[in-house]
A and B are shown apart, each in its own frame.
Chain A
Amino acid sequence: MKKLLVVLLAVLVVMAFANLKVALLINGTLGDKSFFDSAARGIKMAEEKLGIDGKIIEMGYDQSAWRPTLEDIADQDYDVIIVGTWQMKEILEDVAPMYPEKKFIIFDTSVDYSLGDLDNVYSILYKQNEGSFLVGALAAMITTSGMPKTNPQPIIGFLGGMDIPVINDFLVGYIEGAKYINPNIKIIISYAGAFNDPAKGKELVLAQYRQGADISFNVAGETGIGLLEAAKEMDKWAIGVDSDQALAVEDQDPVKAQHIVTSMMKNVDLSIYRALKLTIEGKCPYGKAEALGIAEKGVGIADNKYYRQIVPKKFRDKIKEIENLILEGKIKVDTVFGMSRKKLDELRNSVRP
C-alpha cells in the first residue's frame, strides 16, 4: 500500500513537471485576425501537441493595466510567461529581473540585453524583411505582367501604420525585393499615422491607385484592412500581412478575397510553438534574441488557393527560387535595425516616384 502511494506520488510529480504552465498575455484583445490571434493559435497548438497548460489573458488596450497584470501573473505559478510587441518591451525589462526563477518569452521585439539581468528572457524577432522581400518581388512582377487589373507602369504601393522601425523593416525588404526584379520600380509609400483608422487606410490607398499603383502591401493593423476594401472598390490587387488575410475575409466577402494575391505571414503561432518545444527540450536560448526567417518558418508567403489561382506559375516558381536563394544565403536582405536614418531615407527616396 505504501509503495503504491509512493508510485502514485511520483507519477503526480512527473505529471506536474511535464505540464509546463504557460501564460500568454495579450496587450490588447483577441480578434485582430492577425497577430494576437496567431499567438493564441500557437498556444492551442502547444496544448494539443506538447500537452502544456496554457492560459490566455487579454489585458485590453489600457496601457496602465499592463504592468500590474504582468506582475500579478509572474507572482502566480506559471513557468513560462509570453508577451508580445514593442509596447511590452520596457515593461518586461523592468519586471523580468524581479522574477529570476520564471521564464519569459517576448515576440516581435527584443528586450535590451545590455541592461543585464535578463537571462530569463527569450526574444523572438521575425525577419519580416525576408518575407517582405518575397512579396516585394511578387508585386514588382505582377505590376508589369499585363495581368488583369494592372497597368503598364511599374508602380506599386506600400501602406504602413506608422513610420517606426518594425514597419520600416517590412518596407526595406519590400523595396529590395521589388528592386531585385525591376531596378526601375517605383513605390508609393504611405503612412497612416494610426493603426485603428480603416477609412483613412482606404483613402490613402485609393490615392495610390489613382497615381498609377496597381498592387499595394498593407502593414498597418486595422488601418490596413482599409487597403483590402480599396482594392475591391477600384478593382486592383492587394497583399495581406501577418496572417492569411484572404482566408480571413473570404466568408464574409468573397469578392474582396479574390483581390488579395497573397499575404506576408509572420508565423507567430509556429514561433511560439517552437519556443515552447525548445523550452521543454531544454534547448531554448533564454537570455538571447533570435530572429526567425524563412529558414525557421518564422515568415513566409501565404500559399493559398487565391495565390495559386491568381498568380501565374512562372511567378510562383520565381518566388520559390528567391526563397531558396535567401535560404542558401545568396540573397542577403537588409534590415532596418541598425540601419541609419540617412540610409533608410536614401533607400526610400530611390524608389519614390
Chain B
Amino acid sequence: MNEVIKSILSAQFFYSVLRVTTPVLFAALGALLSDVAGVINIALEGLMLMSAFWGVMVSAWTGSAWIGLLAGVTSAVLLSLALAYFHLNLKTDLILAGIALNMFASGSTVFLLYLFSGDKGSSSSVKSYVLPNVDIPGIKNIPILGDILSGHHVLTYIAFLSVFVVQYLIYKTPLGLRMRAVGENPNAAQSVGISVKRIKYTSLVLSGLMAGLGGAFLSMGYVSWFARDMTNGRGFIGLAAQALGGKSAYGSMWGALLFGAAEATSYTLQAIRIPSEFTNMLPFIFTIIALIIYARAKIMQIKKIREKQTSHEEVGL
C-alpha cells in the first residue's frame, strides 16, 4: 500500500498522467472543433486509427518521422473530408456515416498492413520511426516540476499548446464566431450570408487534423508500431471528455486530464488487492460522476436564470 501511495505521489506518476492524457486530449479538441459548428464527429476513432497507420508506414518508407506525421495527419484530414462530403453533400446521416468510417478505418488498416508488411496483427516487422521527446531547457532543471513537465513527447506539448490555439480560434477569430453561429443556429447564420456548408467543412477538417495528431502520437511515440485497432476507444473517450468540458477548449482539457489521471491511477492501483475489473472501470466511474456534477450545476444555473427572468416579468407586470 505504501508503495502505491509513494508511486502515486511521485513525479513519474504525474508525468505519466500527461502522457496518458495526450491522445484523449487531441480527440477531445477534435470533438470540440466539430461540435461548435454543430457536427458531432463520431468518426474520431477511425480518423486516429488511420493516422496511426499511415504515420508508421510513411515514416518507414521515407525514413523520416516528420514526413510520417504529415502523412498520418493528411490521411485523417482526407477521411474527415469524406465524412463531410457524405454528410453535407450526400445528406447521409452523420452518425451512420461516422460509424461506417470507423469500421472502414478498422478494416482497411488491417488490410493495408497485410499488403505492405505481410502481417495482420501489428507492424512490428516494419522499421518505423518515432517523433522525439523534448527537454524544455529552463523547466528541466527545476527539481520536481522539471521531472513532470520536461522530457515529454513533442506531440504532448503540441496537444497542450493546441488547447490555447483552439480556444483562441473559437472565441477570438471571425472564423470561430462563424463556427459558433453555424452551430447555434444555422438558419440565422445563413440569413446573414455565412456559407453553412463551408464552415462545417472547415470545422471537420480541423477536427480531422486534431484526431490525426492524436493517432500519430499513439503509434509514433507512445509505442513505436501500429497494432490492429490500437486506438481502443480513445476517440470515443475524447468525445466524452469534450462533452464533460462543454464548448470550451479549457473544459475539454480538464475533461481529458480527468480521464488521464483516473486512467493512470487505475494502472497504479492494480498493484494492490483491488480487483482489476474495478480498476479498469475507474476512468468511466469518474466520468459518470463528473457528468452528474456538471449536469446538476448546469441545471441549477438554468434555474437561476429562469427565476431571474420570471421575477423580471413579474416586475414588468
Give the interface of A toward B (CB within 8 A): 28-33, 58, 61, 160, 163, 188-194, 196-200, 202-204, 206-208, 210-212, 222, 225-226, 229, 248-249, 251-253, 348-349, 352-353
Residue with the highest number of chain A CB atoms closer than 10 Å, among B114, B122, B124, B272: B124
Residues on A with C-beta less than 8 A from B270 are 188-191, 204, 207
Starting from the known contacts A31-B119, A163-B276, A211-B271, 19 additional A-B residue pairs (CB-CB under 8 Å) come to A29-B121, A31-B118, A33-B119, A33-B122, A163-B275, A190-B267, A196-B227, A196-B232, A198-B225, A199-B23, A199-B218, A200-B267, A207-B268, A222-B121, A225-B225, A248-B124, A249-B124, A251-B125, A352-B272
The answer to whether A31 touches B273 (Cβ under 8 A) is no
- State the CA gap A207–B271 with chains docked (Å): 9
Q: Name the distance in Å between B219's Cβ and chain A's nearest Cβ.
A: 9
B 219-256 to A, binary, CB cutoff 8 A, 1 in contact else 0: 00011110111101000000000000000000000000
A193-B280, A196-B229, A197-B230 are contacts. A225–B268 as well, Cβ < 8 Å? no
Residues on B with C-beta less than 8 A from A200 are 232, 267
B 111-138 to A, binary, CB cutoff 8 A, 1 in contact else 0: 0011001111110111100000000000
Sample (28) of A-B pairs whose CB atoms are under 8 Å apart: A31-B120, A33-B122, A61-B228, A160-B276, A163-B277, A188-B271, A189-B271, A193-B280, A196-B229, A198-B227, A199-B23, A199-B223, A203-B16, A203-B19, A203-B264, A206-B267, A208-B271, A211-B271, A212-B3, A222-B121, A222-B230, A248-B124, A249-B124, A251-B125, A252-B124, A252-B125, A253-B127, A352-B271
Q: Is B185 an interface position by the 8 A CB rule?
A: no
Interface band, chain B = 35 or more
B 1-17 to A, binary, CB cutoff 8 A, 1 in contact else 0: 00110010010110010
A191-B270, A193-B276, A203-B20 are contacts. A222–B223 as well, Cβ < 8 Å? no
Q: Report, nearest first, the 7 A-B pairs whose CB atoms are least far apart.
A: A31-B119, A29-B120, A191-B276, A31-B120, A197-B232, A193-B280, A32-B121
The answer to whether A210 touches B10 (Cβ under 8 A) is yes
The answer to whether A225 touches B227 (Cβ under 8 A) is yes
Residues on B with C-beta less than 8 A from A353 are 3, 271-272
Q: Name the distance in Å between B275's Cβ and chain A's nearest Cβ.
A: 8
Q: Name the distance in Å between A143's Cβ and chain B's nearest Cβ.
A: 15
Residues on A with C-beta less than 8 A from B110 are 29
Closest B residue by C-beta to A153 = B3
The answer to whether A196 touches B228 (Cβ under 8 A) is yes
Question: Of B16, B275, B276, B280, which contacts A206 at CB under 8 A?
Answer: B16
Q: Name the distance in Å between B267's Cβ and chain A's nearest Cβ.
A: 4
The answer to whether B12 touches A210 (Cβ under 8 A) is yes
The answer to whether B268 touches A211 (Cβ under 8 A) is yes
- State the CA gap A230–B213 with chains docked (Å): 22
Closest A residue by C-beta to B122 = A222
The answer to whether B230 touches A199 (Cβ under 8 A) is yes
Q: Name the distance in Å between A103's Cβ and chain B's nearest Cβ.
A: 28
The answer to whether A190 touches B223 (Cβ under 8 A) is no
- State the CA gap A202–B276 with chains docked (Å): 16
Residues on B with C-beta less than 8 A from A202 are 222-223
- State the CA gap A36–B267 with chains docked (Å): 29
Residues on B with C-beta less than 8 A from A160 are 276
